[in-house]
Structure 1
Amino acid sequence: MKTDEWFRLKNPEKVISPSLLVYPDRVMHNIRTMITMAGGPENLRPHIKTHKNADIIKAQLDYGINKFKCATIAEAELLAQCNAPDVLLAMQPVGANRERFINLIQKFPKTVFSTLVDNPLTVKQLGNLAAKNKLQLNLYIDLNVGMNRTGIIPDDEALKLYETISTHPHLLAVGLHAYDGHLRNPDAKIRKQNCDEAFEKVLHLKENIIKMGLAEPVIIAGGSPSFPFHCRRKNVIASPGTTLLWDAGYGDLFPEMDFLPAAVLFTRILSKPKAGILCFDLGHKSLASEMPFPRVQFLTLEHGKQLKQSEEHFMVQYDDLKVLEVGEEHYAVPMHICPTVAKYEELIVVEDGKVTGNWKVAARNQKITV
């Protein structure tokens, strides 16, 4: 195996395809890089939506990271099962998830849970549930800083909502949450400028909260694209997620970040149906399909145009079929790793070119027990 082919299996014949391979040494590199950039683990609240995996959670705990962020009740439960001390459910609980959030708190009393709200109705509903169950719920206000996906605009209405939470006997206003995933300019200077401009409104809201006589709010900010900027701010907790496994999409957009792809798709050529066409076993069921083509970055094809994807198949135009045979194995980094991981029950662990075990993607489903 060539030294630069870190991804290649020494004995691939017994590995089924498609599979998602994970490389622990690269995961650990990414964890250390996050901590170094943030100036210490205390300034981090990494998201687990990318990996949904206990082994990676425990590795972060071993490095001193004790605050985490998640998107689902199942992910929150996985964190609690790993004895994570502090867990933020970063999806406002609605419908049945409100009761599930209460059940989670009751089932895992050693973990401090919090969640997001962005409107008076949800605050009222959670307040009633907290009173009914004799609990105090920890809440962050989710702020819309330009992505227009969730959150409340950081203006007087947000200030009023924060005050409402602060005066409720069964609710605790912990702080502010600002996700700016829409800021993806590949020019780091422009991306920083955009990030700083969006964050100004958050700081202004924080100042008004303090002027009201309330405790200084904790601020959780950003995702992976804005991580290099938020991680340098004083009194701000940065919350990257994709940084744990990285992918080709972010790698191409943000080459200045020192993260390594740590998960690779293992695939084989299924067929050569006509001259110039290769078919791989990377259909929608095995590879995130919401991205435009290309959807992977092949590590073992020097060129080729990705044409089409269906449920089980992935077609690539290639002009040198003489050296490629049906059944031949190949390796590819997904352009978008997060939804790709969720398609696999387990990650195949590879160390020094050998399969050494598997890591269960335990929170890929909606529910574990709660």
Structure 2
Amino acid sequence: MDFKQNTPWFEVENAAEIDSPALLVYPERIAHNIREMLAIAGDPARLRPHIKTHKMAEIIRMQQKAGIRKFKCATLAEAELLAQCEAADVLVAYPLTGPGPARLSRLQKKYPATRFSCLVDNLQALETLQETVTAEGIRLGVFMDLNVGMNRTGIIPGPEAVALYLKMDSAEFLDCRGFHAYDGHLRNPDPEIRASDCDTAFKEVEALREILLAQSIRVPNIIAGGSPTFPIHARRTEVELSPGTTLLWDARYGTQFPEMPFLPAAALLCRVISKPAPGICCLDLGHKAVAAEMDFPRVFLPQLPESKQISQSEEHLVLKDDPSNLPPVGTVFYAIPMHICPTVIKYPQALTVIEGSVRGKWNIAARDYHLPLKGPVF
């Protein structure tokens, strides 16, 4: 998608009725992205989409309607939301520490129709998890988290990983389900280089599996990649695919990976609130309204594509442009976030836009780390 085209898809007929800033989502474009995910995967059974981008029950249900049954998440609130949506299979792809293992065990008791799994990348975590599930009297799935170069979490494929997997495979009350290999560091904009980098990193995963198979140890599943490497891993057989940003997409991925067929399906409605000097205007789009962890630009503004974002504070985003380009105070603007995932959690609800008009709202149900309590904490 060319983000420098002043396309009208984001415009809202009843914008005058909407307070700003506001998060807008476009269900028809989300449905398009789900169809493209299915086309790349070839079979919904191969997909395990991450819900960290959207955290909304309505989008989970759209995917379930398309035949997707397995999901990935990062928080226990997201895991419980998936269980409430009757997801069949949920992987919490984040290291569980503190009360985390016990909380996940209680989720498995509360939602027995959902199969929960988590990640392990060290012996201490495995022992803690085993003690917890033994005390709770339940079974959990467990995947070994592999570090394939991102150096964030995971164990490096090699002898220590072999030893850990053998212990996982023999652990009581744990179902050893295979490998998890996230390669989020592979983002070269050249698809051929990105594919080569991805294949190189994955060779370590394949080699580890072969070592275990030679010892008659099964590796039932391999969950590989994220959104940038999704189409590359889709070429492999017997690999589960876990894209997430593909559901809403954003301006950063749209410009970095123009060969990918996804559409931005979320936008921010904002307004010009001041023109304090010639060539300067300010939008109501501060740190509290859009992800601000990266350098400028933090949004793409299709109505003012050549403007320069020069400063931002809690409630303000200041732009610089030719004075003749800057519209009057009160003008509605639409902004495509550069990073949609941490932008979504800044809003309790997303307004749904259908056929150019806001028609309803969806709760960002798992925006917090804990869902609202419905009983005792313990």
CA separation in 2, counterparts of 1:177 and 1:367?
Answer: 24
Give the whole-Å Cα distance in 2 for the aligned partners of 1:89 and 1:216: 19
Distance 1:161 1:323, change over 3 A: closer
CA distance in 2, matches of 1:135, 1:322: 63
SS in 2 for 1:116: strand
Partner deviation per Cα, 1:170-226 (whole Å, 9 max, x = no partner): 222100000000000000000000000000000011111111112233000000010
The alignment status of 1:345 with 2:348, answered yes or no, reads yes
Q: Which runs of 5+ in 2 are unaligned?
A: 1-5, 374-378
- Deviation per residue, 1:38-63 (Å, 9 max, x gap): 11111110000000000000000000
Instruction: Please give the residue correspondences for 1:146-295 in structure 2 after superposition, counting only pairs within 5 Å.
Output: 146-295=149-298
* Bigger mean CA deviation after superposition, 320-329 or 101-110: 320-329
- 2: distance between equivalents of 1:240 and 1:105? 24
Residue identity (%): 52
Q: Report matched runs for 1:299-318 at 5 Å.
A: 299-318=302-321
Q: From 36, 39, 42, give the equivalent of 1:36.
A: 39
Q: 1:107 maps to what in 2?
A: 110
Secondary structure of the corresponding residue to residue 55 of structure 2: coil
Q: Please list the CA deviations of residues 97-142 of structure 1 after superposition, one character each: whole Å capped at 9, or x if unmatched.
A: 1211111111111100000010000000000111111122210000
C-alpha distance in 2 between matches for 1:23 and 1:167 = 47
Per the TM alignment, residue 6 of structure 1 is displaced from its structure 2 partner at its CA by 1.2
How far residue 165 of structure 1 moved from its aligned partner, in angstroms, is: 1.0
Could you tell me how far 1:321 is from its partner in structure 2? 4.2
> 3-state SS of the aligned residue for 1:46?
coil
Q: Which of the numbers 92, 96, 117 marks the counterpart of 2:95?
A: 92
Q: In 2, distance between residues paired with 1:330 and 1:93?
A: 41
Letter in 2 for 1:63: A
Alpha-carbon offset, residue 322 of structure 1: 6.3
**2:124 aligned partner:** 121
Shift of residue 4, structure 1, vs aligned partner? 4.0
Residue of structure 2 equivalent to 1:76: 79
Deviation of residue 336 (structure 1)? 0.3
SS in 1 for 2:38: helix
Measure the CA separation in 2 of the matches of 1:254 and 1:35: 18
What residue is the counterpart of 1:138 in the other structure? Answer: 141
Which of these residues, 352, 357, 363, is aligned with residue 360 of structure 1? 363
Deviating beyond 6 angstroms after TM superposition, the runs of 4 or more aligned structure 1 residues are: none
Q: In 2, distance between residues paired with 1:302 and 1:170?
A: 56
Taking structure 1 as the reference length, the TM-score comes to 0.98
For normalisation by structure 2, the TM-score amounts to 0.96
Is the contact between residue 206 and residue 217 of structure 1 (CA under 8 Å) also seen in structure 2? no
Q: Which amino acid aligns with 1:43?
A: R
Residue in 2 that maps onto 1:16: 19
